[in-house]
Structure 1
């Protein structure tokens, strides 16, 4: 890669057509972490996920049709949509919703800030995207910071659950999301209209969600509170239909590893909300962890290629 090309890639986030959707995604996803906490107590988490994407799926098809995108994606497209539906819209969200039974929303968001690590590694293995020593150094620093935050969380254990179980579930969600992030940017995915691929992926994911929820917890539990359905609508429309087309397009434009750094802004928003609403208790350990986590992510973000 030439010096000019390297510089252009390095400063891609300064372009308005990338920076604006990057910011929109971060602000919306930063809010969704807390909204999820209101979706997992009155209803089994798996049914809450199923309701979210049962609402998001028809909206995504409407978006695709309004944009005049063809819904004919071919056999390879449907196979890719099945894979994205299983990993992103079933596996990822079922892991995340369960993780928030054991960890505060802000801490789960911080863990998801490390999405750039598997994104970069899977991008290297599957798409041939490069990973630099500076990226690995920054990621290592961020991991230390997240470790301190989790140690702080383990000492407080505010939800009375198992912190280790919450960590394991969050890691499952991170890996599921990362696989989906990378595979949708492969040659097959790039040839398909984003809205059409997402519509079919959400449809397949909803089918997986319903099957999983029924097998795990039995018939649907229908919540009656308006707060639940307002939250579900926000997660479905803003947190899914608006953000996933924007985010996946960013992945295709600047690479999976670099795109995952919208997690830096997501963390700031999510931790701010967690502090105000969930009463997240900051300590010296937590502050040190947050500084190292964000600092490491920024160092890696400034790497020449990821």
Structure 2
């Protein structure tokens, strides 16, 4: 029985992580359906009116004249919801979406290229780590991200302000893509000819800690981005459209980034132009551009 289970795992090695991800997604969907409050103005107005009317059975002394109730629809007419084109014509909205696009593109590229970088042989500029080691590193980084989001972001946002923290986080991405080639060079200096031996791994792990730790700190830009998008909205009624636009551009970034950075990494390794460092130069330029736009917020 145990051998049969092991055989199944070898045939479908990705079933368990995919199954767990699906279960978590399903739980999130169920919670959203049954526990989140409705925000659609027409439905909110209908529910509000129904609560005010209550039992409509007339009794002694009941005034059966039509009851005029000011609903949320009336409030909506006072503040018109701008169209997507109108929102995109507002400079602050443009900046918030542009910086959010850079943030999603850079963070997704960081997550993708680190795995490639860590698995690539040292002779080609990588770290030559095993899948188990890479998985452990990513898990540790995820735990660090939880701690940073729960405790680091609220404290720093109160102390230096959301926009200032946003700029600092975007600047950290520049450092991340400087640490990548530095760590690769250190790996070549210390482990050439040792086939990934453990004699001088200390400097390698320091470089890995800088790459992952700094990247996770830079990810505090995501909650700052949400706050910035909210503040850029011209009125309360346009929040839904604002977040929809922001997420649409962010999804484009997340979809295109892995293909872009992985292809660029493969080209760098195969061509060995500039010692195989082209991928880091390009990503460094993108990170600097993102930081430049964040300074204009």
TM bucket (normalised to shorter chain) is 0.3 to 0.5
Structure with greater contact order relative to length (CA < 8 Å, sep ≥ 6): 1
TM-score (norm 2): 0.32
